[in-house]
Amino acid sequence: MRLRVATTVFFALGGFVFAGWAVRIPAIKDQVAATPGTLGLALFAMTGSAVATMAVTGRLCERFGSRRVAVVASALLALSAVPPTLTRSALALGLALLLFGVAYGAIDVAINSVAVDLVAALRRPVMPSLHAANSLGSLAGAGLGGVLAGHLSPTGHMLLMVPVVLAATAVGGWFLLTRPLPAAHHEQAPVDRPRRLLPRAGTALPLFALIALCAAYSQGALDNWVPLHITDDLGGGQGVAAAGYAIVQGTMTIGRLSGVALLERLGQTRVVVVGGAVASAGALVAALAPDLGVVLVALAATGLGLANIFPVAIARAGALGGPNGVAFASTLGYGGILLAPPTIGFLANGFGLPLAFTLIAVMVGAATVTGYAVRNSAAR
C-alpha cells in the first residue's frame, strides 16, 4: 500500500535528519567553543522548543490536516538543520536550534497522527513497524554522518543532506497527500473525532500518556548512560561501550520490526505487560550485575522488551484523542526524555551510577503496571 510506504518514509526521514545532525555535535561544540554547560543549554533550547511545539501541533493537525503538517514539518526540519552549523557562539547555536526543535516537534506529532489514521484504516497494529523505520532512519543518518565526518564540515554535511531529504519529502508528500485511506471516513471531519472520543476516553488517555512518558524516559536514560555505565562501572573499553549502545538500539529495532506480528498474536495489553516485565528485569540486571557479559545480555533483553511500549501508547492515545491525544502523549513522552539525563545524573552523584541506573527498571515497571490497569481500554 503506497500510503503506508509514504508514511514509513516520513518516519525514517525524521530519524535520518536528527541523527545526521546529532553525530556532528562534537564538531559543532568545538566550532562554537562551548563548554559542556553552555552546550547543554543550547541543546535544551532545541528540546524545549520541540516540547512546546508538540503541545500545539495537535490543533494544527486538526485545522490543516495531519498529512499537510507532516510534509511541511519534514521540509522545515531539513532546512533548519543548516543554520546551527553556521554559528560561532553558544548563544547563536541555541537560537538557531529553536527552529530545529520546532520542526522536530511538529513532525513527531503530525506523522504519528497520520499513523493513527493508517492503523484505523488498515485495522492492523502497524505502529511499531513505523517506529522501526524511525530507528532505521536514525541508524542510517548516524552511519552516514560517521563516514562524512572525516571528509566534510558539519555545514557541508547538512548541505549535502538537505536536497536528498527535500526530494524524498516531495515524492513521499505527493503520495501522502493524494492517496486516500482505504476507509475514507477515518479522515473526514478531523475536528469532530477528538470531540466525540475524548469524553469516552475518561482517565485512559492520561494513563496512556503516562506509559509513553515512562517508556520514553527509559529510552532516554539508556541512550545517555549505557556507555558510561560500561566504561566507568564495569571497566569496558570505548568499543564495548559503543557495542552496548548498539545492542540496545539494535534489539529495540528488531522488537519493533516484529511488533506487528506480536500485537496481532498477543494483543496490546500482553505486549505492554510482558514486554515491560522483561525490560524491567533486564534493566535491573544491567544496573546491578558485576559481569560485563551478563550486562550486555540484560541490555538486549531491555531493548527487546521496551521496543513496543511507546508505539502502543502513542497509538492508543491517538485512537482515544485524535491528533490532540497524540500531541498530549508525545509531549509527556519527550518530557520524559528531557528528565532522564539530569535525574540519573543527580542520583549517580549521590548514590553511584549502578544504583541510579535502577531507576530505569522502576520507570519501566510503572509503565507495565499502568498498561495492565488500562487493559480494558486497549484493543486485545
pLDDT tens by residue, 215-244 = 999 988 887 678 778 888 888 886 787 678
Look at residue 17 in the predicted model and tell me its pLDDT.
93
Question: What is the mean predicted confidence (pLDDT) over 24-37?
Answer: 83
Q: For residue 82, which of 15, 20, 167, 168 has the smallest C-alpha distance?
A: 20
Confidence of residue 196 (pLDDT cuts 50, 70, 90): very low
Confidence of residue 173 (pLDDT cuts 50, 70, 90): very high
Quick count: other Cβ atoms within 10 Å of Cβ 69?
24
Quick count: other Cβ atoms within 10 Å of Cβ 241?
18
Q: Is the pLDDT assigned to residue 199 strictly greater than 50?
A: no
Confidence of residue 200 (pLDDT cuts 50, 70, 90): very low
Question: What is the mean predicted confidence (pLDDT) over 355-363?
Answer: 92
**pLDDT tens for each residue of 288-333:** 999 999 999 999 999 999 999 999 998 898 888 888 888 889 888 8
CA distance 39 to 339: 17
Q: Is the pLDDT assigned to residue 197 strictly greater than 50?
A: no
CA distance 176 to 8: 10
Cell of 221: 536514560
Look at residue 187 in the predicted model and tell me its pLDDT.
40
Identify the residue whose cell numbers are 484505523.
120
Q: How far is CA 249 from CA 2, 215, 230, in A?
A: 27, 14, 16
Look at residue 297 in the predicted model and tell me its pLDDT.
96
Domain ranges of the chain: 2-189, 199-377
Confidence of residue 111 (pLDDT cuts 50, 70, 90): very high
Look at residue 182 in the predicted model and tell me its pLDDT.
62
What is the Rg, in whole angstroms, of the alpha carbon atoms belonging to the chain? 20
Look at residue 327 in the predicted model and tell me its pLDDT.
86
Quote the mean pLDDT of the chain.
Answer: 86
CA 65 to chain centroid: 22
DSSP state of 377: G
Residue 360 near residue 341, CB atoms below 8 Å: no
Look at residue 180 in the predicted model and tell me its pLDDT.
78
Question: What is the mean predicted confidence (pLDDT) over 240-266?
Answer: 85
| Contacts of residue 147, Cβ cutoff 8 Å, sequence gap at least 6 | none
CA distance 164 to 154: 16
Q: Is the pLDDT assigned to residue 92 strictly greater than 70?
A: yes
Q: Is the pLDDT assigned to residue 281 strictly greater than 70?
A: yes
Question: What is the mean predicted confidence (pLDDT) over 197-205?
Answer: 57
CATH superfamily of 2-189: MFS general substrate transporter like domains (1.20.1250.20)
| Contacts of residue 126, Cβ cutoff 8 Å, sequence gap at least 6 | 4, 115, 118, 119, 260
Look at residue 198 in the predicted model and tell me its pLDDT.
40
For the entire predicted model, the pTM comes to 0.79
**pLDDT tens for each residue of 52-75:** 998 899 899 989 999 999 999 999
The DSSP code sequence of 75-125 is HHHHHHTSGGGG--SHHHHHHHHHHHHHHHHHHHHHHHHHHHHHHHHHTS-
Sign (positive or negative) of CA dihedral 314, 316, 319, 320: negative
Identify the residue whose cell numbers are 509503565.
367
Residue 315 near residue 281, CB atoms below 8 Å: no
Per CATH, the number for 199-377 is: 1.20.1250.20
Q: Is the pLDDT assigned to residue 19 strictly greater than 70?
A: yes
Quick count: other Cβ atoms within 10 Å of Cβ 170?
12
Confidence of residue 183 (pLDDT cuts 50, 70, 90): low
Sign (positive or negative) of CA dihedral 370, 58, 134, 342: negative
Q: Is the pLDDT assigned to residue 114 strictly greater than 90?
A: yes
Look at residue 171 in the predicted model and tell me its pLDDT.
95
CA distance 356 to 339: 13
CA distance 223 to 237: 17
Domains 2-189 and 199-377 share a fold: yes
